[in-house]
Chains A and B, each alone.
Chain A
Amino acid sequence: MWFYSDKVQELFKNPKNVGEIKDADAVGEVGSIICGDALRLTLKIDKKTDKILDAKFQTFGCASAIASSSALTEMIKGKTIDEALRITNKDIAEYLGGLPEEKMHCSVMGMEALEAAIANYRGVSVKKENVSEEKIICNCFSVTDKKIIRAIEENRLKTVEEVTNFTKAGGGCGKCKPEIEKLLKEFWEKEAGKEISLSQQSTNKRGLTNLERIQLIQDTLEREIRPQLKKDSGDIELVDVEGNKVYVRLLGTCLGCPATSLTLKSFVELKLKEFVDRDIIVEEVKE
């Protein structure tokens, strides 16, 4: 069973702004019954001030989808469309007092419906224009690369599982998971690149490219670190590298071991400082 916040439960049981504005100035529709949730948002907008006077929703979906839709309508009423567009899925989730990780896609759906409605108001057919540039990654839920990258960027997502929770991509047959992995890797490598150039390459004294650097970290893990951990039936895997930060996941007996931080700091980090770069900081990723 899910653990929903009081706010989610309240807005599910007594949702505000249910229905449809008959002479709506803007209509936004996202999702479909096949995907398991769908939202239809109708807005009344003051044409002079661009202020959202009224908002109503119709939602097919679970409790968090209904609550997210209701939250969205409450949040945007009285705002100008420019103000409303600054609302992200994070804001919706926060308004609701948090959502279960697996349900974050409900807040994303809210944000998308709003964008669709405003595009409709402005007379832009966003969909058609962008579709050619976008590539469908997840065929089960029709999720494009653009949507995935945006979710990664806005929510700082690190794993395929997180991407699935936020966008549904990969949640059906799972065939697109390697592609999502690739998008994650590309995004975070780009980010790491940014950070390195910002710090004027100070971390990159050996003149290594990012790829070489990651390779060296991986080699050091394989050669110097994993054999030692394995002696105690533990293990480690490299999750990500972001500038000086090396994200690792501990496995086997290392999981929940009281000496975890000792292992990480005085062994793993020390070895990586020794073999790769003395500025390296090791961080543990917990699932």
Chain B
Amino acid sequence: MNSFVAVLRKDLMLEVRGGQSTVALGALSLLVLVVLVFAFNPGGGEQGAEAAAGALWVALVFSGMLGATRAVSAENENGCIRALLISPLDRAALYAAKLAAAFIFMAVAEAASIILMVLFFNLEFDARVMRLVPAVLLGALGFAALATLLAGISSRLRGGDLVLPLLAVPMFVPALIAGVKASASALGGAPFGELAVWLKVLVAFDVMFVAAGYLLFEYVAGEE
């Protein structure tokens, strides 16, 4: 537990000092939302809710890839990943710490994205926006789990930044659909039962990829 806390604390400290991930995630989210709000030109009602939900999840996917890549690739600078791999640190604890860091980066970026989405898509800061929170947090956790695992592979490859989206996005599609549907339901004021169906899909996705990352990170993070 001490090691998990030490790695997470170190990652957050580096982020606070460098600010690279959070600034980049925020800027990317802003860019995506601005482009999509002009592309969709949303009116009110159900159509507006669906457009807003779609824009939010596009921002989530892009920012998630950046956050996960940063959390893992930071260890490649000066070969720090090697020091971690030969240390007594349990590889699963290393994955858990990296996942937690990526999740926190994404959650911060998503909070900013939700505020921007409400402003750009002419929504109200009301209970419907609060109903977004479970879907967005579950989506962020699932994508962080998947992208952290895959970033363990791609960060060591030449052109790894290109490989990560090619691997991650297709695998995230089921959760992406569930997340967009859940968010649209939340923003459209649909009954909780309708929302819950999609939340269950997100929970299943999270369980699957957190477990896969926990079990497989040992093999993807090592060399050769």
Say whether A and B bind each other: no
